[in-house]
Copies of this chain bind each other. A is one copy, B any other.
Amino acid sequence: MLERIQAFALARAAEADPAHDELHLRRVVANARGIMGNLPASASVDRFVVEAACWLHDCVYLPKGQGVAGEAAQRSAGHAAAYLEELGVDTHLVRAVHDAVLTHSFSGGLKPATIEAAIVQDADRLDALGAIGIARLWVTMVSMGGAMYHRDDPAGSSRDLDDRSWALDHIERKLFRLPTLMNTEAGRAEAERRAAFLRAYLDKFLREIGARQED
């Protein structure tokens, strides 16, 4: 069953930008497996729900900056549920996948209500951090039509941050907040490692463009 769901999701990802492509889905599933492998022994998790939701979490792709906040997650949840019903998946599992897809998104602002939904959210957020998150930051900038940084104040020391105009602002505005928003212990630990790498990257970037003094 998961193989059919995966094939369906991969086909749909062909429409997305390189920050939300097949490779993103595979990484999110791998992240979720990593988190599931590090849960307390007492935790009871439905792996099918987690993996199905990871594959389907972006199954309705809206280019970044289009639609209202959380709209892509809402539409993906609806589409995922309809697809799973068609496949004959049990209603309570369909509902669980639906809810995990619905609550995964940052812009949607919803809190996951189950351990499965919490894992999916963490797994997706890990992909926004670290070396891979850096790659996705710049890819998303191209999709949104912004510039790398504000010419006169790249670090945003004396202006409001605006990550639609300047992609570098997105690091401070959203990405550095992710570790404290993680749901699971394993997710948070990995998020902190990846945020530390991102901080080193931002520092190096600002030094290279002359916006921060070299040591």
Contact = CB atoms under 8 A, between A and B. Distances in A.
Interface of A: 17-18, 21-23, 26-27, 30, 130-132, 134-135, 138-139, 141-143, 146-149, 151, 194, 197, 201-202, 204-205, 208-210
A89 B194 CA distance: 52
B130 A18 contact: no
Nearest to A154: B23
Given A132-B205, A138-B138, A210-B30, A148 B18 contact: yes
Contact of A131 (B21, B23, B139, B208): B208
Nearest to A31: B208
27 contacts: A17-B142, A18-B142, A18-B147, A18-B148, A21-B148, A22-B151, A23-B147, A23-B149, A23-B151, A23-B209, A27-B208, A27-B209, A130-B204, A130-B205, A131-B201, A131-B202, A131-B204, A131-B208, A132-B208, A132-B209, A134-B138, A134-B201, A135-B138, A138-B139, A139-B139, A142-B142, A197-B204
Contacts of A194: 208
* Residue from the set A22, A23, A26, A27 with the largest chain B CB neighbour count within 10 Å: A23
Nearest to A202: B131
Contacts of A130: 204-205, 208
A27 B148 CA distance: 12
Contacts of A134: 134-135, 138, 201
Nearest to A134: B134
Nearest to A132: B208
Contacts of A146: 18
